Structure 1
Amino acid sequence: MVETVSRIERVERLRVSDSVAAQLTQLITKGVYAVGEKLPPERVLAEEFGVSRSSMREAIRSIEASGLVSSNHGVGVFVVSNTVVSQAASDLLVFEGFTVPELFEVRRMMERDAAGLAARRITPGYASELQDILARCADPNLSNEEFVKLDFKLHHTIAKASQNGLLATIYSSLEPMMVKYSHRVIDLPGRREDSHRGHARIVDAVVAGQVREAQSAAVAHIRDVERDIAKNIAQPTTPTS
């Protein structure tokens, strides 16, 4: 009997507790909870954030590990610092008043359907435009700022290629948020290369008129961003001198 080797890799996802920890970090660094102040009880915080107590507990453990709070069993959790030395998870997980997992949920829904419709309704003009944008993104001399602009243009062009005017208009309204956030994550290790590979898979499927493949490639593209952010958050940080 021939043995098969499993090539399945664990799919890393952002957790609810990561998002809660990021928001708590922002509240502390902005002084909403001052140094020396006692945080509300875990039960109260869980209700305010709309999460389970286990997720709340995990979030508190996370910010305690970062040195912002200290737990005193039987007494409570107190803020002991309002400064983070390295890039905080809040920079990657909370943005413009929304959590990044919320942004990804919206993108998964919109981009999956946009890619599927574009593959079904692709025209030679849009196919040529998408391939041109993809070729420009491959230029190694392209600055990150230019890459981010082309990144949004590619996704917006796919939305337009769906030939659903409302979908394209809604997607266009996300441009300020998506461009600003892309600037935050573009420097993550391998992010630009992963992004370009994801774009290539989406464009290839759309241009070929492969509806299911285009939808799958669009969702996988968003999952890849989540994976890179999750890995970055999981890595221990070294304080700078």
Structure 2
Amino acid sequence: MTDTVGKIERVERLRVSDSVAAQLVQLITKKSYAVGEKLPSERVLAEQFGVSRSSMREAIRGVEASGLVSSSHGVGVFVVSNTVHSQSPPDLLVFEDFTVPELFEVRRVLEGEAAALAAQRLTPTTGTELKSIIEQCADPDLTDEEFVTLDVELHQKIAQASGNGLLSTLYAGLEPLMQEYSRRVIALPGRREHAHKGHIKIVDAIVARQMKQARAAALAHIRDVEHDIAKRMAKPST
């Protein structure tokens, strides 16, 4: 029997504690907790968030690493800042009114079905447009900002290709969030290359009119982003 253990790469995923940390950071940055204020106990917070105390403890450690809170053994955890510094791990998970784990949940619902329906209802014109965007994204001279613009355009075009006007309208409402989110994650190591490879797989499946493969490629693309963010979250803040 061949030993395959050494060949298997562990799949990084965002943890429950990451999602909780994102929500806690959101509360602090929106000043639900003021600077100098003591947070509720770990037990109370765990009950409020509906998670285990171990997950809550890990979440607090993550928030503390961002510089928003400071813990004092036997005394408690206190808010020391309401501002997240750009490029710190929590900055990858929190926006003003929502968290990235929430965005992922919505993207899985919308993008998976959009890709499947696009594969079923694709027109020759739209197929050509999708291929054109992929070709433009392959240009190594593109700036990250230009790549992000094309990235969002591609996903919006796929939503339009679904032939479902409501789905397209819903996705269009996400466009400003997608732009901001993509700008934050594009600088992660390998993110641009990973995104482009994911886009190619999605478009290839759509153009081939393979509904199941298109849905799977769209969901894999989102998991890949989660993988890259999880790897960054696992690294100590610098």
TM-score by length of 1: 0.88
How is 1:138-217 mapped onto 2 (pairs within 5 angstroms)? 138-217=138-217
What amino acid is aligned across from residue 71 of structure 2 in structure 1?
A: S
Look up the match of 1:109.
109
What amino acid is aligned across from residue 208 of structure 2 in structure 1?
A: A
Q: Distance in 1 between matches of 2:66 and 2:145?
A: 31
Q: Distance in 2 between matches of 1:144 and 1:96?
A: 23
Look up the match of 1:11.
11
**Secondary structure of 1:87's match?**
coil
Q: Deviations over 1:6-31 (max 9, x none)?
A: 54422211112113223434554665
Q: Distance in 1 between matches of 2:84 and 2:168?
A: 39
Q: Distance in 2 between matches of 1:95 and 1:86?
A: 12
Q: Distance in 1 between matches of 2:217 and 2:145?
A: 24
Q: Distance in 2 between matches of 1:29 and 1:172?
A: 27
Q: Distance in 2 between matches of 1:84 and 1:94?
A: 9
Look up the match of 2:57.
57
| Structure 1 spans left out of the alignment, 5+ residues | none
What amino acid is aligned across from residue 216 of structure 2 in structure 1?
A: S
Q: Deviations over 1:175-216 (max 9, x none)?
A: 011111111111111111110000000000100111111111
How is 1:70-149 mapped onto 2 (pairs within 5 angstroms)? 70-73=71-74, 75-79=75-79, 87-149=87-149
Judged with a 3 Å threshold, the aligned counterparts in structure 2 of structure 1 residues 148 and 116 are, in CA distance, closer, same or farther, namely same
**Secondary structure of 1:136's match?**
helix
Look up the match of 2:20.
20
| Structure 2 spans left out of the alignment, 5+ residues | none
- Displacement, 1:101? 0.6
| CA contact 1:45–1:56 (8 Å) conserved in 2 | yes
Q: Distance in 1 between matches of 2:136 and 2:32?
A: 45
What amino acid is aligned across from residue 72 of structure 1 in structure 2?
A: H
| CA contact 2:85–2:91 (8 Å) conserved in 1 | no
**Secondary structure of 1:70's match?**
strand
Number of equivalenced pairs: 236
Judged with a 3 Å threshold, the aligned counterparts in structure 2 of structure 1 residues 28 and 109 are, in CA distance, closer, same or farther, namely closer
Look up the match of 1:223.
223
Aligned-pair identity (%):
68
- Displacement, 1:236? 2.0
| CA contact 1:115–1:215 (8 Å) conserved in 2 | yes
Q: Distance in 2 between matches of 1:43 and 1:194?
A: 40
Judged with a 3 Å threshold, the aligned counterparts in structure 2 of structure 1 residues 95 and 28 are, in CA distance, closer, same or farther, namely closer
